[in-house]
């Protein structure tokens, strides 16, 4: 029975979005129980993180990444050790924060939790704009949850949020400091530049005739041709299976009957009640007084049934339904506490009974309506059921074909023809055609197949390259398997000096020219600092700021704003990212004394967040150390 508090203390929309289906299957305690020691991925403060929990979290993060990237994401990246480690780090952080919250005695009271749920718009009736049990039950049902699991998950997420907030420092920057930082950010400097490009110095470079040969001899690994291969391969796909699958009427009807039995909605009843509260632990005297009051009200509603709603508003002690005249809405058997449930489902429409005793007190109950679910429409559901039958048959047949495909490429390693022949026979009747690739390396090739990291690792294994065996069957995409064998192979081999001599000469010349440009730039800068003039064509001045660098590299901008502008013009220099050197002349400093209040506040918020994040990371690291976090590296490996 929800107490509909009007003023929530927190917005929970984001938290609701974080609570996912696994809670409905395993319960919140599953996340803090873990698997057996053998299946543990990590342990935090004595609480294990099991393989199932890790696998669920990994799958959710992979799905989220696919949605964010609109499917354009490499599966190898989602299976990479780095991605898996990031997921585990998130679980560890969550566990550390939750353990710390419990240790500090943080709680979320039932009343507070009910108030938060009651205020969330997700659970409001669209007509009245108020909390609705029906909307709440519908929301839970659509997500495969029930109330206790959802509320436990919400409580956990609230504690995590509060613990995180508690670890984040709220910094305070004095106004004078913030003003100074704001003006520094807005300050503009008029900058001219001279680019000393390596090409300007190339004519001055005189290489030793033996320099290229010496470089080649010292860096032979830079001039090796990667090993490469040509393949013959065969692909088994679910699409090929689907072409041979037929669905008949009997199969569709059978699924319809099974689904109707599984998804048949239970009978629901709508009841109203008047509650005279008396908790299970109340004294006998209190219970007797409550029962007497309930019997008095029962006599009144039996005498005047039309007064039920008015009596409920005035007397019922269930704040969640009293204002509605005691109306509890529709509910199935098993939703209410047992004595209440038994009474309602033994009544006839319009009947009034009571007092019914529960752990909440004494109830006077009126049955308002009975809702009997309608039978499902076969004709309407048939297209979807037919598609489901087809998908199930395709999946089953593909699993069988995949098993045969995998075993045959392994058991008959000297040829792919045995695999092709095996799948050409009944019940598969597939005509798999062998295909060939051109030359490619371990870095990939033009064929889409050659951009799959797992497939490339399999192909460039010892057994496939050297022994000429079939590769293992590799899932290159959902519903697609491939196996290959090498038909031509060339190992790593050095490139001849004559083939790379021009390339080496070009590199050495460019390197030497860049060094000459740097030396000349530094010499010119030294003369400018002495007040001497230099032969240089300065570009037109441009006003740059820390916010808008106008094409300056971060390194160059840093040098420009480090320049001492107490005496103008000021000169600085920096290496050019593209090679060579750049001289900068600061000829003017522009300070706007006006302050944009909103921009100043935004800067303050950014600095607060940056400081807060640093403090949070430091405090979290301390908590992790105290929590004795133990990681099992092998357990997070793919298939571990």
Other C-beta atoms within 10 Å of 250: how many?
A: 8
* CA–CA gap between residue 568 and residue 560 (Å, rounded): 13
Domains 13-169+624-636 and 227-248+380-491 alike in fold: no
367-389 average pLDDT score: 86
What is 13-169+624-636's CATH number? 1.10.4030.10
Q: Does pLDDT of 6 surpass 60? A: no
Answer whether residue 193 shows pLDDT above 90: yes
Task: Name, in order, each residue with C-beta under 8 angstroms of 6's C-beta and a sequence gap of 6 or more.
Answer: 119
Q: How confident is the model at residue 33 (pLDDT cuts 50, 70, 90)?
A: very low
Q: 227-248+380-491 in CATH: which number?
A: 3.10.50
CA distances from 197 to 510, 533, 538, 580, 582 (A): 10, 20, 14, 5, 8
Phi then psi for residue 11, to 5 deg, are -90, 125
Neighbour count for residue 18 (Cβ, 10 Å): 13
Of residues 600 and 12, the one with the higher pLDDT is 600
Average confidence (pLDDT) over 309-328: 89
Q: How many CA atoms, within 13 angstroms, populate the side-chain half-sphere of residue 290? A: 25
Is residue 42 classed exposed, middle or buried when 0-12, 13-18 and 19+ CB atoms within 10 A define those classes? buried
Whether the pLDDT of residue 638 is over 60: the answer is: no
**Around Cβ 139, how many Cβ atoms within 10 Å?**
16
Domain boundaries, the chain: 13-169+624-636, 188-223+497-590, 227-248+380-491, 265-371
Chain-centre distance for alpha carbon 395: 28
Instruction: Tell me what percent of the residues of the chain surpass a pLDDT of 70.
Output: 88
Tokens 């692909």 sit at which residue? Answer: 235
Mean pLDDT, the chain, whole residue set: 83
Q: What is the pLDDT of residue 110?
A: 79
Least confident of 21-35, 259-273, 378-392, 452-466: 21-35
Q: Which of 132-146, 418-432, 463-477 has the lowest mean pLDDT?
A: 132-146
Given a cut of 50, is residue 4 above it in pLDDT?
no
pLDDT tens, residue by residue, 132-154: 888 888 888 777 777 777 888 88
Task: Judge whether residue 376 has pLDDT over 90.
Answer: no
Given the candidates 3.60.90.10, 3.10.50.40, 3.40.50.1370, 3.40.120.10, the CATH classification of the domain at 265-371 is: 3.10.50.40
The confidence score (pLDDT) of residue 2 equals: 30
- pLDDT bucket at 601, cuts 50 / 70 / 90: confident
> Residue 452 has what pLDDT?
85
3-state secondary structure of 91: helix
Q: How far apart are CA 231 and CA 310, in angstroms?
A: 84
| Rounded Cα gap, residues 573 and 435, in angstroms | 58
pLDDT (0 to 100) of residue 34? 42
- Six token digits for residue 388: 């489901």
């Amino acid at each position: 029975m929800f107490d509909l508090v009007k003023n929530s203390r927190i917005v929970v929309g984001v938290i609701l979005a974080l609570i996912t289906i696994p809670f409905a299957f395993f319960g919140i305690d599953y996340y803090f129980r873990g698997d057996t020691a053998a299946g543990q991925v990590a342990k935090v403060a004595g609480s294990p993180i099991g393989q199932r929990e890790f696998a669920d979290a990994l799958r959710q993060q992979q799905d989220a990444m696919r949605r964010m990237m609109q499917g354009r994401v490499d599966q190898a990246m989602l299976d990479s050790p780095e991605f898996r480690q990031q997921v585990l780090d998130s679980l560890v952080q969550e566990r550390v924060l939750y353990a710390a919250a419990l240790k500090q005695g943080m709680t979320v009271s039932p009343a507070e939790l009910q108030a938060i749920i009651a205020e969330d718009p997700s659970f409001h009736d669209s007509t009245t704009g108020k909390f609705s049990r029906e909307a709440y039950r519908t929301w839970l049902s659509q997500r495969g949850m029930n109330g206790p699991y959802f509320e436990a998950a919400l409580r956990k997420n609230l504690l995590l949020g509060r613990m995180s907030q508690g670890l984040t420092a709220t910094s305070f920057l004095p106004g004078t400091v913030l003003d100074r930082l704001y003006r520094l950010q807005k300050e503009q400097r008029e900058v001219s530049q001279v680019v000393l490009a390596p090409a300007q110095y190339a004519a001055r470079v005189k290489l030793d005739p033996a320099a290229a040969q010496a470089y080649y001899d010292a860096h032979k690994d830079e001039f090796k041709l990667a090993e490469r291969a040509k393949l013959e391969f065969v692909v088994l796909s679910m699409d090929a299976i689907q072409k041979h699958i037929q669905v008949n009427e009997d199969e569709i009807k059978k699924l319809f009957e099974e689904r109707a039995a599984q998804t048949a909605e239970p009978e629901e009843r709508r009841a109203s009640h008047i509650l005279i509260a008396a908790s299970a632990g109340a004294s006998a005297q209190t219970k007797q007084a409550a029962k007497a009051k309930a019997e008095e009200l029962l006599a009144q509603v039996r005498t005047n049934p039309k007064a039920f709603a008015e009596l409920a508003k005035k007397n019922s002690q269930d704040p969640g339904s009293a204002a509605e005249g005691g109306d509890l809405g529709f509910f199935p058997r098993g939703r209410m506490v047992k004595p209440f449930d038994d009474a309602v489902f033994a009544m006839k429409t319009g009947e009034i009974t009571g007092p019914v005793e529960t752990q909440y007190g004494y109830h006077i109950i009126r049955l308002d309506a009975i809702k009997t679910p309608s039978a499902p429409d076969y004709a309407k559901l048939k297209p979807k059921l037919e598609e489901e039958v087809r998908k199930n048959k395709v999946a089953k047949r593909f699993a069988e074909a995949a098993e045969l495909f995998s075993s045959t490429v392994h058991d008959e390693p000297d040829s792919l023809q045995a695999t092709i022949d095996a799948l050409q026979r009944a019940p598969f009747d597939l005509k798999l055609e062998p295909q060939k690739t051109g030359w490619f390396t371990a870095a990939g090739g033009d064929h889409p197949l050659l951009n799959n990291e797992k497939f490339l690792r399999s192909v460039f294994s010892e057994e496939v390259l050297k022994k000429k065996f079939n590769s293992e069957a590799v899932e290159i995409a959902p519903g697609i398997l491939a196996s290959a064998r090498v038909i031509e192979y060339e190992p790593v081999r050095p490139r001849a000096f004559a083939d790379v001599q021009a390339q080496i000469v070009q590199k050495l010349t460019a390197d030497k020219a860049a060094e000459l440009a740097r030396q000349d730039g530094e010499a010119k800068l030294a003369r400018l600092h002495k007040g001497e003039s230099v032969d240089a064509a300065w570009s037109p001045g441009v006003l740059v700021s820390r916010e808008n660098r106008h094409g300056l590299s971060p390194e160059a901008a840093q040098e420009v704003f480090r320049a001492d502008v107490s005496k103008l013009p000021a000169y600085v220099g920096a290496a050019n990212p593209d090679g060579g050197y750049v001289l900068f002349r600061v000829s003017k400093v522009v300070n706007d004394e006006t302050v944009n209040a909103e921009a100043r506040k935004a800067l303050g918020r950014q600095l607060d967040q940056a400081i807060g994040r640093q403090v949070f990371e430091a405090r979290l690291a301390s908590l992790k150390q105290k929590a004795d976090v133990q990681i099992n590296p092998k357990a997070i490996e793919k298939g571990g």
